Amino acid sequence: MKQRLRQAKRGACCLAWVCCASSASAQPASASASASSAALGYEVVGDAIPNPLTGVPGDAARGRAIVVNRQLGLCLLCHTGPFPDERFQGTLAPSLAGAGARGSAGQLRLRLVDARRVNPASFMPAYYRAEGHMQVGAAWQGKPVFSAQQVEDVVAFLQTLRE
Ligand code: HEC
């Protein structure tokens, strides 16, 4: 218990559904090479998940709606981006403008699935990881934040952000 409290104090942020504290459970980047998550069925190759998580192509319009949604994606808690109608955008993370030019679909996919596989010190939440969440309510235990299709929708949207 003490251990958990200490981790929580060190944590960068706690959202309703996932605590994205930087903790000892962060995996070193080197462990990511060609590791796979059997439970959720994706394969990490280097710094990317090259294959889509579903057979249905992502829908960029749905992805945009997820990104600006304050209950679901909550991306704008930390990020700014090309969303002129959205008030109160975050200042903790780089702007999402140009994200599609900076990373391939596979790199964007891994970043969303589990950002700490890209950067072990990241405090961006893992949106498609079922285990390893800290301090989440029973209803959220063992469940990823996004469905596989929602990951694909957000990847499709991010790819449209070219400048
Ligand atoms: C709790 C804060 C937080 C939230 C919420 C968050 N991010 Fe991030 N994100 C970061 C940080 C910090 C970085 C910078 C790199 C790092 O630390 O991993 C980052 C980096 C990124 C990058 C790479 C940026 C670049 O310049 O190439 C992308 C793409 C991204 N986030 C997308 C998203 C999307 C989409 C969402 C919502 C589904 C989201 N993030 C939610 C904190 C957050």
Cα 122 to middle of ligand 1, angstroms: 9
Nearest one of 134, 118, 132 to 21, comparing CA atoms: 134
Q: What is the pLDDT of residues 8-32, one digit of tens each?
A: 344 445 555 554 444 434 444 444 3
Q: State mean pLDDT over 121-149.
A: 88
pLDDT at 122 exceeding the cut of 60: yes
pLDDT at 34: 41
Interval between CA 110 and ligand 1 midpoint (Å)? 11
Count each helix (H run) and each strand (E run) in the chain, helices first. 5, 2
Ligand 1 pocket: which of 124, 134, 152, 161 to mutate (most atoms <8 Å of CB)?
124
What pLDDT score does 136 carry? 80
Residue 62 Cβ contacting ligand 1 at under 6 Å = no
Residues 117-143, mean pLDDT to the nearest whole number? 87
**Mean pLDDT on 112-141:** 89
Q: Which is more confident, 39 or 7?
A: 39
Say how many residues make up the chain.
163
Q: What was the pLDDT predicted at 146?
A: 95
pLDDT of residue 56: 97
Residue-wise pLDDT for 144-156, tens only, equals 999 999 999 999 9
pLDDT score recorded for residue 23 = 42
What confidence score (pLDDT) does residue 130 get? 84
Max intra-chain CA distance, the chain: 46
Beta bridge partners of 126: none
Question: 44: which residues sit within 8 A by CB, 6+ positions away?
Answer: 32, 33, 34, 35, 36, 37, 110, 117
CA distance 64 to 61: 5
- Cα of 94 from ligand 1 centre, angstroms: 7
Residue with tokens 């939440």: 125
**How large is the average pLDDT for residues 134-153?**
89
Question: In the 8-state DSSP scheme, what is residue 96?
Answer: S
Which tens digit of pLDDT belongs to each residue from 29-82?
444 334 455 568 899 999 999 999 999 999 999 999 999 999 999 999 999 999
* pLDDT surpassing 60 at residue 6: no
